[in-house]
Structure formats: C-alpha cells, structure tokens
Amino acid sequence: MSTETLLATTGVKSDGVIRRTAATAANCLAGGSQIFEELPTAKIVSVSRPDTTDFSPLLLSYALELQYKQFKWTLQKKASQVLYLHFALKKRLIIEELHEKQEHVREWLHSLGIFDMQGSVVQDDEEPDDGALPLHYTEDSVKNRNVPSRAALSIIRPTIGRSETVVDRGRAAMKGYLNLFLGNLDIVNSKEVCKFLEVSRLSFAREYGSKMKEGYVTVKHLREVPGSDGGRCCLPSQCLGCFGNSWAKVWAVLKPGFLALLEDPFNGKLLDIMVFDSLGFQGTKDSSEQPRLAEPVKERNPLRFGFNVTSGDRTVRFRTTSCRKVKEWVKAVDEAGSYNPHRFDSFAPPRGLTSDGSQAQWFVDGHTAFEAIAFAIQNATSEIFITGWWLCPELYLKRPFQDHPSLRLDALLETKAKQGVKIYILMYKEVQIALKINSMYSKKRLQNIHKNVKVLRYPDHLSTGIYLWSHHDKIVIVDYQVCFIGGLDLCFGRYDTAEHKIGDCPPHIWPGKDYYNPRESEPNSWEETMKDELDRRKYPRMPWHEVHCALWGPPCRDVARHFVQRWNHSKRNKAPNEQTIPLLMPHHHMVLPHYLGTREIDIISTAKPEEDPNKPVVLSRQDSFSSTSPPQDIPLLLPQETDADFTTKGDIKFERGSRQALDGRDEFPGETSEESDRDETVNEWWWQIGKQSDCKCQIIRSVSQWSAGTNQPEDSIHQAYCSLIQNAEHFIYIENQFFISGLEKDDTILNRVSEALYRRILKAHEEKKCFRVVIVIPLLPGFQGGIDEFGAATVRALMHWQYRSISRDRTSILYYLSALLGPKTQDYISFYGLRSYGRLFEDGPIATSQIYVHSKLLIVDDRIAVIGSSNINDRSLLGSRDSEIGVVIEDKEFVESSMNGVKWMAGKFSYSLRCSLWSEHLGLQPGEVKMIEDPITDATYQDLWMATAKRNTGIYDKVFSCIPNENIRSKASLRHNVALCKDKLGHTTIDLGIAPEKLKPCGSNSWEMLKETRGHLVCFPLHFMCNEEDLRPGFVETEFYTAPQVFH
C-alpha cells in the first residue's frame, strides 16, 4: 500500500488564508485556547474507487493517516465530503460578509438615532451534520476568509483516461487541497476543518487517552433543563423517552473504555458518559459468543440509521446520518470496549506483573492508618474520593485530639476544598429504624463545608427497593496516586493503638462519642458529637482492631474506577436532576490495559528532556468545576492518563522511624540486616506499619446492579478467597468480623469459604502433611444488648449463624472435621478472639472488654495477602448484596523463612504483616520476632500461640468470669452468673467486665494476676450457650419478621 506525506509546511499559503475568528475562542474553554497548537502532519495511505466503469473522482475514497503530537488517527473520506467541506467554508464566508455589512448599516442607523435593526442575518440552524454553533466574528474576520475554489475544482473536475490516472490525479488534487488546512494554524483551527478532521477539545488531551472515533450523533435520552444564564442544559434521563420524543444532536467522543457526549466539539462540556462494563462478557469462552457493546438497530423509517450502545444495565440509542456511519460506530465502540477475562472474574486485571509502579503498604489499627490518610489528604492537589459505611465529620485523624484541631476530618477537608481540591464523598444511606449512624447529619455537615465538596447518599430505599443491603466498602483516594482500602471507616470508635486501652478519663485520646462501646449503648443522636454517650467512670470503651492498606500505581486507579462507577450509578438513580452533583469519569489509565488487552494505544510517549523525571506528577483537570462556576455549569469529569513513569509517583510514603529492636538490634520481618542497619531511631509503633513494597496486586470486589449498575453480580472476592485457600501449601491465617459460611450441600448459607477450608484440610490429612488454619474473630457481635435481654435479638441471631458455621449442627466445619479426624482437628484449624484490660481511670475499677476484630484479612503461606472490607458471610461475598472492595497482594520480594522447619521463601509484605499481627496478639517484643518466624511448627503453633491463648483465657475467666466463656452453656447459667456478679460488685458491664480488687475466696490480687497475661489473644468459646438449640429471634421480637439473609 503506497503512502504519501502531505506537503504540510508553514510556508504553504493561499490567496485567502482563513483566520481564526472569535467564534473559535468563544466556544473553547480556558479563555480562548484552540484545539491545534501546532500543525498536524498527515499522509494519504491509499486511494480507492468503487468497482464501476465510472471514473469520476467524486467516487474516490481516501484513507488518511494523521498525527498531532503523540496522537495518531485515521480517517476515511470521500471526495464528496471534501466538496461539502468547501461549500461549508464558502457558506460561512458569505454569512460573515453579510454580518460585517450589517454592522456597518447598524452603525449608520445608530448615527441617525435608530438604535436597532430587525431581521438580522442569522446562521442556519439546520445545517446538515453541523454543530449549529452560534456565529461570532470580528471586524476584520472576513478579509482573509476566502478559500480558492480552484483547489476544490481540481478534485471534482472530470478526468478522461485509465482508472489508474483517475486515482493518481485524485491523490494529487486531494493533497493540494488538504495542504490549505494542514499548512496553516488559522485554517486548521476553523470549525469546519476541525469537524472534517473529527477532532474536539478532548481529542488531544493526553490525560483522556488515545484519539479514537468522534462525530455528531443524535440521542433521545437527554432532557433539556433551563440553565442559570437563561440558556439550556441537557441532563441524562433515567427513563428513555419519558420526556418526549425530541432527539438532541451531540458530539460523541469515543475513548478507550468509555464514550462521552459533549454539547459540541469546542467547549468540552459533558452531557453524559458511558463507561464500558466488562461484566457483560463474563462466562463466555468463545469470543463469537461474547455480547457486543454496540449493535445496529433496524429503524422503521428506512431513512433513519441507528445503533445501541450497552454499558452495564444501561442501553442508549444513537442515530447518525448513514448506514456506513452506523457500521463505523459499531466497530469502533466494540474495539474501544474490547475485553479480556481477568482472574477471579474480577473487573480489574492483575497489576505489577511488570515494573508498572504497583506498590502496597499495610497498617495495623487505626492509629497509623488515620495518620497516613491525614498526611495524604494534606498533600492533595487535585481530587479526593471518599466512601464508607459510616463517616463522621468530627473524627480526629491524629491524637491527642487537643493537639491537632486542624486534623479533624471536616477541618482538613475544608482546608483542601478552599485550596481548590475537588472532594467527592459517597455515603451509605442507612435504614434508620435498623441503624443509628445518622448519615443525613453527616451529609449536611460535609456539604456545608465548601462548594467544592460534593456529597451523595445511596441507596434511596423507596425508589430502589433496597432495604436489606448496604454499601460496605471503605475507600479514600487522593489525586489518583494513592488509595486506602481495608476495614477502617472514617468514623467514631475506630481509632486505636496496639495497646488497645479500655479507658480514657479524663478525655485525652477519644473525645465525646468517640469513646465508643456498641455493646453498651448506641447513641440516639450524633449531633452533639463532643458530648459523652457513656459514663467513662463506669464503662470501658470497646477496643478496635483493624488492618488497612495503601496502594499506589495501577491498583490505585482500579479502585478509583470502582468509585467512579458507584458514584455515577448513585448520581443517576438518586440525583439525576441535581446539577450541582456532577457525573465523574474514570481516568484513561483506569481502563488500560483492562479493556484493550495487549493492544497498544496510539499515544506516543514524548518525554521532555527538560522535565525532572523524579518530579511527582500532579494531575489536573482544566474542565473540572471551580469555585467561580455556577452550580449548573459544573461539568462532567473526564478520564485521564499520564505517560509518566508511575514508579515515581509513590511520593507519599508513611514509613516511620526504625524497626530496630528495643532490646538489641534485630531485623524487622521481611528486612535484611543491612536494611535494619540503615534505620536511625527506634520506632515506637514498629509493629503497626509496613514498608512500601513492590507487589503484584489485583483489585477484587462485590457489586451488582443495585450497588454499581453492573449487568450481573461480581463476586470476585468470594472466588479469590476460595481459590487461594484451595491452593494454599502450608498455612492460612484469617482475621474477620464474621465467620458465617456453608459447606457444599448447605442451601441456606451460599458462600463456600468453609467448603474450601474443609477440602484443603482433608487433602493435607490424606497426604499426611502439616497444614494449619488460624482464625481470629470477635468474641461477640458488636451490637447493643445483653445476650439474654429482650432487645438483643440481633446479637443472638448473629451468634446462631456463626456457631452454625463453626461448631454446631451438621452444617459446621468442625462437626464434619471432628467426625473424620477426631481430636486431631485442632492440629489443623482453631478459632480465637482478642481481649484487653485496664483501669477506667487512675485508681478506678479494673475492667475488661473484648477487642473487636473488624479486620478483613487472609494471609496464605506468608506470600499472599487479601485485605479489604469484605466479611466472611453471604452479605459480603455473593456480590448481589453488600458492596465490597479488596485487593489480592502477592509478594515480589522474598525473605528466607521456614515452614515446619523446612526452608521457605516468605514474601516480605505478607510475612511482615503476619509477624506484626502475631507480635501484637502475643505481646512479643521486637527482639522476639524470630519465635514466630515459622507459623506452623509445633513450637510456634502449639507451644506459643495456643498456649498463650489458653493461659490468657484462664486468667480472664478467673478474674472476671466475663462473657462469653466456656462455662456458660445455657440461659439459666448465664442468668445465674449475671446475678452473682451484680450481687458481689453492685455494678458491672453488660458482658460482666468489672473485676473486684481481691478475688474470693483465695484473696489474690486481680491486677497482679492480669499482669500475667501476655498480649491479647484468647480462645474463642466454642461451647458458649451450646445447650441452647436455637438462638434466632422469637416471634415476639421484631427481628423475627426480618428476612434471615440480613443476619448472614
């Protein structure tokens, strides 16, 4: 195929050079910016003609390849289209001449005292396939608007001769005509030429991705609403056609992974977006069976040409001007949304397979995680995305709270909003009769901070019919550079340290309602947040254990894409007419190579030598809303990409101090001795924060139509859990808020985490190999009410489903394992909880509370970690219920360790995280980390881990007789113990958490006995209330009439 570069140089002049008029500037953003800043280059790739005896050049078709900066695109143009372009330019010239003459007449009339002139010449709004843009001009705009007709005549002049001669002469004529445009910036930036070249304000913005198909189409799903300036504005309508039969002409911009609709190609104002949803292809192996994103539509009127584009649960009808254009659009959309299946059927691919900048860092408990989040927000320059199950504006991200008033969440967000940072907060709208998190109060507080803070609550229960499920994912994303996910909500009660204190009197760390114990009381109002809910001199707070993580690079942007998908779905359903709430679009790098597979995009990296490669990239949006924009002028936000090396973008690091041993130098888990030697100071919180590590990461989630607008549920978290468990070689460690799971034939509980564990343990037993499963969960559900109280039906219901999964009935994993393995079952799997103690104030009563395990963590073989928001229950794992987010982190760097005494290369991330957690739970000092290096050897698993749990449990039972414990197996026994404690002490907590100073009858000192505990680990009471056959709500309790799926 022959190609010929056009002679597009700045020296090419015409006898009527077209100047760029004020019309272009008026319709461009950023105060008169133009689409082309420099001349594009092009070449004629081929010239073809139809198979006919007619050799007229009008029938020739030209394949043009154009390049502007790093962008390449191809066009197919016919000679007739060039002729139409010429007529359009002439038409505009004539109109401008009339306008200019009209101005002279108006000035003459003005001099005579006549101040207006009726019947002015206007532009034809019915110009075919043209944007019908309003005309603006200057006095001298007509002088150089003439385009020589002789250049166009050479294209259409009849030619006699062989077909080859027609092609050659047509090529030469086309080259000469196009040189008029490509050789001069004034011409190439005219509206007519930009339309002919299919370019717009979004075409050449690097952050929006490669140049793909663009052009005018008509749509029916947009409705018109009046703007603040008296003009009109189009908004997406939920119900197609519900606002009449009017079709609106829009400029469609196709980019990799999405389709954007603009008012016109020159102002960049977005009307709607369609982000292509990969789930439509799930489960189809043969590419020929895969559903298509775009399909042509047969119209009743043969003169109409339409096609449908489908994304998730949305299908939008488009019309264009010819059957040929329909085919072009259908092909282009399918290419832009091409899909390759991902592991676990996730929407996101594994990242970090190459050096793409994928990094991860772990945090244990709220202390370090909150400080890291605060630091990231402080350094935000562009955008912040926040979503969670519960959000408290008055949360202090650093303690003591008196010393850090500027780091209260609402104050911090206000500071950033005033600096121009755009903040989007997506909150879960609770069913108020069931939950007391008062999201409406939080929404009002947050949206009143600043106009740059946008808040949505979802779902709207009445319109969606969603009453049972919740948005449970917890996400903070800053500038698309770093994100935080895990079990930690930005709300009260979550801040904690490794010490897990139970008291704070007078308030120093936990102010007001942040001194939180949901077992004792849930506040009825969150408006007086600095007023105590609990009497600090009588009741302990409930310590809170979390695992959170930070991600950089492509995994961060995958999380951002998930947020954008959820935000847009919530916006369309909850606030479709609220112009102050914009639609968002994922940055271009969120969908590549997700949708394009290995196909390269047409963006050519053009690194500027003068730029510092180590300088952090700051993403900005020229088209984003600003503080000077009226609410209805808030634009949709666009996908962006930067071609910077993302390995340089992890500039927000949260490492603190050293991991040097307190009692002698020792390397931190996952570090070499050389790395330890580089540390300069002792880190007080050595066990709570990991190193920022290069890892392989894959984002997994649970979403469905109601939560994210997908066309079918995604349960990639469930699939990841089951797959990783089945393929574990030596060891599984789980921390989770719940353990409610079913075996193979369980028709009630549908997730199969238990089944995967059961099969893997049986395999190890058959192969006679050492294999351990350690599970840490809360001792009791974190809901209000004593177990035997009338108002505690939720607590009992959750206990029922949890014990049903763990140790009771023929549905539990321990029942089946014990039937096969007998006492050896505990060699393979065991369950634990966490507990803490202390004085409520100086010389105050001794109290204890469970440490509420809220982390959602899976560690496999010290090489793979799964961190996220998902509980082990059907609500979180099935995909069709609660929305969740998580990440599979696989190590790329390894440290020498052992498994059952055999050398084993453990991953630095997973190994250090597990050792940190075990050090906290077992009360180890840094110098004792080597004691837990091998997690499955008998010396660690039995002699240290199990022995510590049993010793601590015995001491707590002796000092407190606290609930739950193995000695209480019936309601009668429970009532007896509660009555006995109240008689002896006069006051106790709901779970018998107050101890006497001296134990009777032995007279032992309670405080001295508690000092013999080490760490926080205790045994999970498998036989607690085991004589009660059914703990589910009775018919006299309101929870009896709630769907049982709510509890599991």
Instruction: Give CA torsion, residues 255, 261, 263, 266, to 10 deg.
Output: 0
Taking CA atoms, 439 is separated from 242, 427, 531, 732, 925, in Å, by: 32, 7, 18, 37, 41
**Are residues 517 and 541 in contact, defined by beta-carbon separation less than 8 angstroms?**
yes
Phi, psi (5° rounding) for residue 736?
-160, 155
What are the backbone angles phi and psi of residue 1004, rounded to the nearest 5°? -70, 150
- d(Cα 34, Cα 21) in Å, to the nearest integer? 11
- Rounded Cα–Cα distance for residues 415 and 434 (Å): 34
Rg of the chain over CA atoms, in angstroms?
A: 34
Q: Closest by alpha carbon to 18, among 181, 152, 198?
A: 181
Question: Tokens 């309670």 label which residue?
Answer: 1006
Q: Could you tell me how many helices (H) and strands (E) the chain has, helices first? A: 26, 35
The length of the chain in residues reads: 1048
Residue pair 184/38 in contact by the 8 Å Cβ criterion: no
DSSP result, 292-337: PSEEEE--SSTT-EEEEEEETTEEEEEEES-HHHHHHHHHHHHHHT
Catalytic residue among 191, 211, 588, 856: 856
| 569 included as an active-site residue | no
Concerning whether 479 is annotated as a catalytic residue, the answer is yes
Catalytic residue among 587, 854, 908, 1016: 854
Q: How many C-beta atoms surround the C-beta of residue 784 within 10 A?
A: 18
E-strand ranges in 35-156 read: 41-48, 61-68, 71-78
| C-beta separation of 749 from 881 below 8 A | no
159: Cα separation from own chain's centroid: 61
Please provide residue 281's backbone torsions phi and psi, each rounded to the nearest 5 degrees. -105, 0
Smallest CA-to-CA distance from 654 within 614, 690, 678, 683 is with: 690
Q: Count Cβ neighbours within 10 Å for each residue of 11-24 and write b for 16 or more, e otherwise.
A: ebebebbbbbbebb
Q: Is 648 left (phi over 0), alpha (psi -120 to 50) or beta?
A: alpha
Count Cα neighbours of 454 within 13 Å in the Cβ-side half-sphere: 29
CA distances from 551 to 244, 859, 895 (A): 47, 17, 21
- 855 phi and psi, to 5 degrees? -70, 155
Angle ∠(779,857,380) on CA atoms, nearest 5: 120
Q: Would you call 861 a catalytic residue per the annotation? A: yes
- Find out whether the peptide bond into 523 is cis, omega within 30 degrees of 0: no
How far apart (Å, rounded) are the C-alpha atoms in residues 367 and 404? 14
Q: Which of 356, 479, 514, 679 is catalytic?
A: 479
d(CA 895, CA 905): 6
Identified catalytic residue from 472, 500, 588, 800 = 472
91 is catalytic: no
Residue 391 phi, psi dihedral angles, 5° rounding? -140, 130
Give the whole-angstrom CA distance, residue 457 versus residue 462. Answer: 13
Q: Can you tell me the distance from the alpha carbon of 239 to that of 386, in angstroms, rounded to the nearest whole number? A: 29
Beta strands in 647-777 (DSSP E): 693-703, 714-715, 731-735, 772-776
Q: φ and ψ at 1009, to 5 degrees?
A: -65, -40
Annotation marks residue 856 as catalytic: yes
The yes-or-no answer on residue 903 being catalytic is: no
Q: Of the listed 861, 862, 874, 934, which one is catalytic?
A: 861
Asked if 132 and 125 count as a contact pair (C-beta separation under 8 A), the reply is yes
Query: Residues 220, 474, 545, 730: which is the catalytic one?
Result: 474
Q: State the catalytic residues.
A: 472, 474, 479, 854, 856, 861
